[in-house]
Structure 1
């Protein structure tokens, strides 16, 4: 029961700062589950995140899969509720406040100020996942090539997933 409470508090805290979605708090999620609580190692974290991203559905699946790994079905429920309930309550309160303060001159700059925060959090997530995925020159080459491919071409990111799957089959 203590473990479920720790999971609920850890993911609940993350949800309150998840500007940009669940992927934006990935570095802090990694720090909590790998370094602070030692619920899993880097490789397991990376594999669970990749599995959650490959499945259809929202980014919240990453937290659910982490919770499942930590404490089974009850852990999945604790992590999912932790990621959903606090942020949903905060969004509901902020939506009402935003509507009430709609005409204020400082409202637009405050909203635009959140954009670089979200971009920075998501970029940090990418760096953490790249570090957790591996430290060999080949993994950095694959990560770099994948990033450039998605960024600079108009092709679907699914091609990167397919290529990564084929590389995984060949290299393992």
Structure 2
């Protein structure tokens, strides 16, 4: 954790980075996890691969909103102020934009442009979620001790999502139990 060692310029850069990511977080902030990884792990070196993945896993396992992973990443990278900065950065622009766009779209929902935009967002969101899932799986797929169990769990999860009506919460819980037992 960097915590107190960040300069004012680094805190400002962290805030601005998350402001920009907020505007790219179509489908939720989790879709920008690959870019967060590139910045926090690859560019800044504030977190390791395993710290990044563990931060997201911890936040996803906790009850509450899905966005908590941003606070955990900010905390692990830059302490309490980092958590505050990343949450403000990720929430401020997207919340403001969504409020304005929702009001406008509700008033114009029958126009061709709004219908086309809505239809086009589904494949984009799916692609971003798949990229995030792969990024989170790479440390385990790369480890020979976990590779086959991880790939099998991924295939099983996809099959269950496509062929059953099992809630995603149960699948996440099952994956957590398997991880706690050391299977993956």
* Normalised-by-shorter TM-score class: 0.7 to 0.9
Q: CA deviation at 1:39?
A: 1.4
Partner residue, 1:108: 115
Q: CA deviation at 1:91?
A: 1.6
* Cα pair distance change 1:151/1:41, threshold 3 Å: farther
Quote the offset at 1:63 in angstroms: 0.6
Q: Distance in 1 between matches of 2:140 and 2:110?
A: 46
**How far off its partner does 1:50 sit?**
0.4
Residues 27-84 of structure 1 show CA distances to partners (whole Å, capped at 9, x for unaligned) of: 2122221112211111111110000001111121111100000111100000000110
User: How big is the shift at 1:158?
Assistant: 4.3
Match in the other structure for 1:45: 52
* 2:175 counterpart residue number: 164
Structure 1 position 31 matched with structure 2 position 42? no
Question: Of 141, 149, 153, which residue of structure 1 is paired with 2:164?
Answer: 153
TM-score by length of 1: 0.86
Report the 3-state secondary structure (helix = DSSP H, G, I; strand = E; otherwise coil) of the residue aligned with 2:125: helix
Equivalent residue for 2:67? 60
Q: Distance in 2 between matches of 1:97 and 1:164?
A: 40
Q: Which runs of 5+ in 1 are unaligned?
A: none
Please give the root-mean-square deviation of Cα atoms over the aligned residues, in Å.
Answer: 2.2
**Rounded Cα–Cα distance in structure 1 between residues aligned with 2:37 and 2:162:** 25
| Match of residue 85 from structure 2 | 78
Is the contact made by 1:16 and 1:87 (CA closer than 8 Å) also made in structure 2? Answer: yes
Determine helix, strand or coil for the equivalent of 2:46. Answer: coil
Residue 143 in structure 1 maps to residue 154 in structure 2: yes
Report the Cα distance in structure 2 between the residues aligned to 1:168 and 1:100, rounded to whole angstroms. Answer: 47
Q: TM-score, normalised by structure 2?
A: 0.81
1:96 shift after superposition: 4.2
- Cα distance, 1:138 vs structure 2: 3.0
Answer yes or no: is the 8 Å Cα contact 1:43–1:133 preserved in 2.
no
- Compute the displacement of 1:119 (Å): 1.3
Counterparts of 2:102 and 2:28, CA distance in 1 = 16
Tell me whether 118-127 or 76-85 shows the greater mean CA deviation: 118-127
When the two structures are aligned, how many residues end up with a matched partner?
172
Aligned-partner Cα distance in 1 for 2:83–2:69: 10
